[in-house]
């Protein structure tokens, strides 16, 4: 379906939980996160996704919070991927515990993944978020072994925290078939972007031999660079410095069933109350898509009231 600015909306990001097992510095809030009882159940997700597909959604990304915390994730993947009209079922994860579940997830219909990785140093990684770098690396190995490519690695660049590791990440893209995406810190969460935001495009100045690659699909937020000597590529997502709102094709649905047409606009509609009534669900989703903002207001100082773990990153 098209929104009122002529953008085709064919991509939905579903947050499966607000719970997370990591404490990333830009995303973690020290208050109790919502209880699992708030989360949509697989049959409720299936019903929402089937209406989304009728309205032209073709790609669904499962995110959170951490989607691997859902014991019923395989059931959800299966329901989403079997929905007529859904062509791609993909997931964003921190990869803690991914390797041992990936075979079952692939068999359930999961096609590809984005893995978050902010440091290649085990101790720094643990200090940053409490997680295990080894788990992430074995998850990456398993994705490659199961040929679920292309695999995208998301690294949020933080000045003075991990920006001394850029070379290490670039070497990873040279040696392995990975798309390393450097993400500019957005004003969502508790870190001050004034102090910590690093424009990833600066990286290009010090890396030789890179050529701009063609976008894989319209609306791709990352501009990607590759070239001779690279098995993979590097990309930059600069939502703040170079917004991609004009080609935005996505909507987000929280784990409690609230639809949010723009990441950086707090307006949401409740879908849960319409479950069991597909016509009403359709009406609410259409209203939300029609109301999608033309562009985000980060540069005007707008800060969303919810962190990414609630919105679905």
Binding site for ligand SAM (CB under 6 A): 20, 26-27, 63-64, 66, 92-94, 116, 154, 156, 183, 185-186, 188-189, 308-309, 313
Coil, strand or helix at 61: strand
The smaller minimum CB distance to ligand SAM, of residues 78 and 129, is found at 129
DSSP code, position 41: P
Q: Identify the helix (H) or strand (E) that includes residue 106.
A: helix 99-108
Q: Which is nearer to ligand SAM, 67 or 261 (CB)?
A: 67
Is the distance from CB of 96 to CB of 132 less than 8 angstroms?
yes
Which of 142, 138, 222 is closest to 181 using CA atoms? 222
Q: Are strands 11-15 and 59-63 parallel, antiparallel or unpaired?
A: parallel
Cβ atoms 211, 225 nearer than 8 A: yes
Closer of 185 and 289 to ligand SAM (Cβ): 185
Of 96 and 108, CB closest to ligand SAM: 96
Return the residue nearest ligand SAM (CB atom).
Answer: 313
Q: Do residues 48 and 40 make contact, with C-beta atoms less than 8 angstroms apart? A: yes
Closest distance to ligand SAM from the beta carbon of 10 (Å): 20
Q: By C-beta, is 92 or 108 nearer to ligand SAM?
A: 92
Q: What is the 3-state secondary structure of 230-287?
A: CCCEEEEECCCCCCCHHHCCEEEECCCCEEECCCCCCCCEECHHHCCCHHHHHHHHHH
Q: How far is the CB of 273 from ligand SAM (least distance, A)?
A: 26
State the minimum distance, in angstroms, from the CB of residue 278 to ligand SAM.
Answer: 29
C-alpha–C-alpha distance, residues 282 and 196, integer Å:
41
The least CB distance from residue 93 to ligand SAM, in Å, is 5
Instruction: DSSP for 156-216, please give it.
Output: EEBTTTTGGGHHHHHHHHHHSSEEEEEEEPPS-SSS-HHHHB--GGGHHHH-TT-EEPPPS
Question: Shortest approach of ligand SAM to residue 54 CB, angstroms?
Answer: 27
Residue 262 or 281 having the CB closest to ligand SAM: 262
> Tokens 């499966």 belong to which residue?
16
Residue 66 or 256: which CB sits closer to ligand SAM? 66
- If the CB atoms of residues 18 and 83 are measured against ligand SAM, the closer one turns out to be 18
- The half-sphere exposure of 267 on its side-chain side, counting CA atoms within 13 A, is 14
Do 24 and 131 form a contact (C-beta atoms < 8 A)? no
Minimum distance of ligand SAM from residue 65's CB (angstroms): 6
Q: How far is the CB of 180 from ligand SAM (least distance, A)?
A: 12
| Closest CB 157 distance from ligand SAM, rounded Å | 9
């Amino acid at each position: 379906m098209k929104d009122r600015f002529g953008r085709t909306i064919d991509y939905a990001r579903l947050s499966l939980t607000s719970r997370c097992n990591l404490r990333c510095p830009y995303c973690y809030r020290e208050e109790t996160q919502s209880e699992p009882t708030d989360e949509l159940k697989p049959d409720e997700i299936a019903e929402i996704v089937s209406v989304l597909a009728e309205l032209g959604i073709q790609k669904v990304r499962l995110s959170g919070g951490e989607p691997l915390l859902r014991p019923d994730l395989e059931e959800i993947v299966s329901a989403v991927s079997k929905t007529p009209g859904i062509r791609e079922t993909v997931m964003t994860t921190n990869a803690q515990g991914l390797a041992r579940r990936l075979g079952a997830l692939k068999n359930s219909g999961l096609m590809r993944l984005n893995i978050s990785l902010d440091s290649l140093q085990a101790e720094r990684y643990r200090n940053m978020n409490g997680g295990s770098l080894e788990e992430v690396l074995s998850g990456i190995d398993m994705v490659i072994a199961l040929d679920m490519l292309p695999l995208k690695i998301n690294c949020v660049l933080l000045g003075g925290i991990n920006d001394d590791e850029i070379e290490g990440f670039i070497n990873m893209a040279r040696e392995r078939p990975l798309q390393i995406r450097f993400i500019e810190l957005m004003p969502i969460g508790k870190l001050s972007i004034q102090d910590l935001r690093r424009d990833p495009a600066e990286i290009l100045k010090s890396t030789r031999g890179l050529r701009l690659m063609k976008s894989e699909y319209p609306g791709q937020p990352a501009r990607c660079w590759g070239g001779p000597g690279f098995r993979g590529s590097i990309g930059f997502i600069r939502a703040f410095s170079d917004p991609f709102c004009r080609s935005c094709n996505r909507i987000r649905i929280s784990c409690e069933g609230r639809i949010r047409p723009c990441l950086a606009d707090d307006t949401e509609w409740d879908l849960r109350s319409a479950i069991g009534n597909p016509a009403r669900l359709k009406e609410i989703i259409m209203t939300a898509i029609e109301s999608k903002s033309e562009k985000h207001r980060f540069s005007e100082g707008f800060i969303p009231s919810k962190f990414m773990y609630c919105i679905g990153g």
